[in-house]
Amino acid sequence: MKSVETRQAELEARRAQLMTRMEQVESELDSHVEKDWDDAAVEQEQDEVLEDLGESAQQELRAIEAALGRIAEGEYGFCVTCGERIDEARLDVLPATPFCRKHAPGAKTGRG
């Protein structure tokens, strides 16, 4: 079982990685020089991929910030919906998750 301090360090390390990646994406998006039509079309496709990566990183960053807030409040590792402890195996895979398996978005509840 990992300690809250270990999980906090892991979340902070991941946050630093995401921030670096977001800076790289921004730098890449800002670095384009006008080219001919074919090059511009390829560049636009690449920009869309980079923007998707940036959005994904922002979403993960928000989840990490929220998890770090729950750590500060002493609420980390407990489902925000039901208050039950989140399974360690789930936290190993999704350390920023605020939900137990039962209350995770898209979880099957067994109801019709």
pLDDT at 70 over 70: yes
> Which residues, including other chains, have CB under 8 Å from residue 99's CB and lie 6 or more apart?
79, 80, 81, 86, 105, 107
The count of structural domains within the chain is 1
Give the Cα separation of 98 and 103 in Å (integer). 9
Higher pLDDT, 33 or 79: 79
Domain assignment present for residue 83? The answer is no
Identify which has the larger pLDDT, 4 or 23.
4
Is residue 68 domain-resident?
yes
Q: How far is CA 21 from CA 16, 40, 59, in A?
A: 9, 23, 13
pTM for the model: 0.73
| pLDDT value of position 109 | 58
Q: Is residue 20 part of a domain?
A: yes
Whether residue 57 contacts residue 18, with contact meaning beta carbons closer than 8 Å, is answered with yes
Mean pLDDT of 3-13: 96
More confident residue, 112 or 58: 58
pLDDT, residue 23, reads: 85
Residue 16 structural domain: 4-76
Residue with tokens 């209350």: 103
Mean pLDDT of 16-40: 75
Q: Which of the pair, 108 or 17, is modelled with greater confidence?
A: 17
82 occurs within a structural domain: no
